Structure 1
Amino acid sequence: MKKIVLTAGLLAMSFGMAHADPIADRQALMKDMGKAVGSVAKIAKGEQPFDAATVKTALETLATDAQKLDADKLFPEGTETGGDTEASPKIWEDRDGFKEQIAKYQADTAAAVKADPQDLESFQMAFKSITANCGACHQTYRVKK
């Protein structure tokens, strides 16, 4: 009986994975990254006191999410139209450039975590680099609705 339940559960999971919605998945990932940026934006602007634990948590979230940015899985052919998406057609026209942008973001977020900023100035430098990546990618590969 346990084998039947386990098998049914595994089949249900694999069915759900096979029919994942890349548009919804990438939007959820972008929202999570936006939430992490928002959690430390006031610190970066000097509007809130520097808090190393909050900064570390946000940077770790950004780095973890960055590793989930897979152009082939989240932006497959056929998802450039349809659905409620702000993805620019340039993603599919300039695939290599898009992947390079993702790789740079992944490297910069990983470097920020490794640097483990312990003061406002070092955090601001890392944050500026990360958000510059966001801005550059959004400017080139996003169509704001």
Structure 2
Amino acid sequence: MIDKRPFSLAVLALSGAAVLAVPAIAQNLDAIEKRQQLMKDNGKATKAGGAILKGEAEFSPAKAEEIFGQMHEIAMEFGDYFPEDSKTGGKTEAAPAIWEKPEEFKAALVKYQEDTQAAIDAAPQDLDAFKQQFGKVAQNCKGCHEEFRVDK
């Protein structure tokens, strides 16, 4: 007669390990989903600014303040969502460079934070002033996407 207990214990141990791994995966996906939502929100603000530049939407100082305010709030929160366990999964577009060059990523994020704050502080009162500030802020987006985003 064959003793099945060692096999049963191995199955039980593997099942337990799989159950314990689920929270780590969920945490990973939570961070990825949060940063993806922040980027979607940032994209909406950027699109609103682009519409003003294209003449598809009317400029107003209040709208400029709203756009730059949204972008700044996102900039201040975004860096919190790149834990080590969020490198893959959830259709992430985060490039490995984020974790390979953490100081450069942090510097890019700080520059975006500073430029969005400068745009708020500039409080553009006309379209030309808005264009100047929006151009500086949008340049950050482009640069970060080139180095720290994988296009899928």
TM range (shorter): 0.7 to 0.9
Q: CA deviation at 1:69?
A: 2.0
Runs of 4+ in 1 over 6 A off after TM superposition: none
> Which position in structure 2 is the counterpart of 1:8?
none
For residues 112 and 55 of structure 1, what CA distance do their matches in structure 2 show? 9
> Which position in structure 2 is the counterpart of 1:40?
49
Task: Classify the secondary structure of the residue corresponding to 1:84.
Answer: coil
Task: Classify the secondary structure of the residue corresponding to 1:41.
Answer: helix
Normalised TM-score (structure 1): 0.81
Is it true that 1:65 corresponds to 2:60 in the alignment? no
For residues 116 and 78 of structure 1, what CA distance do their matches in structure 2 show? 39
Is it true that 1:76 corresponds to 2:83 in the alignment? yes
Instruction: Point out the structure with the larger helix share.
Output: 2
User: Which blocks of at least 5 consecutive residues in structure 1 are unaligned?
Assistant: 1-18
> Which position in structure 1 is the counterpart of 2:65?
56
Q: Render the CA deviation track for 1:96-138: whole Å, top value 9, x for unaligned.
A: 0000000000000001001100011111010000000000000
Q: Render the CA deviation track for 1:16-74: whole Å, top value 9, x for unaligned.
A: xxx5810011001111111111112121234443222211111111111111122xx31
Normalised TM-score (structure 2): 0.78
Query: Which one of 123, 127, 146 corresponds to residue 116 of structure 1?
Result: 123
For residues 51 and 145 of structure 2, what CA distance do their matches in structure 1 show? 21
What amino acid is aligned across from residue 62 of structure 2 in structure 1? Answer: A
User: Which blocks of at least 5 consecutive residues in structure 2 are unaligned?
Assistant: 1-26
Query: Which one of 80, 104, 109 corresponds to residue 102 of structure 1?
Result: 109
Is it true that 1:29 corresponds to 2:31 in the alignment? no
Alpha-carbon RMSD: 1.6
Residues 7-22 of structure 1 aligned to structure 2 (within 5 Å): 19=27, 21-22=30-31
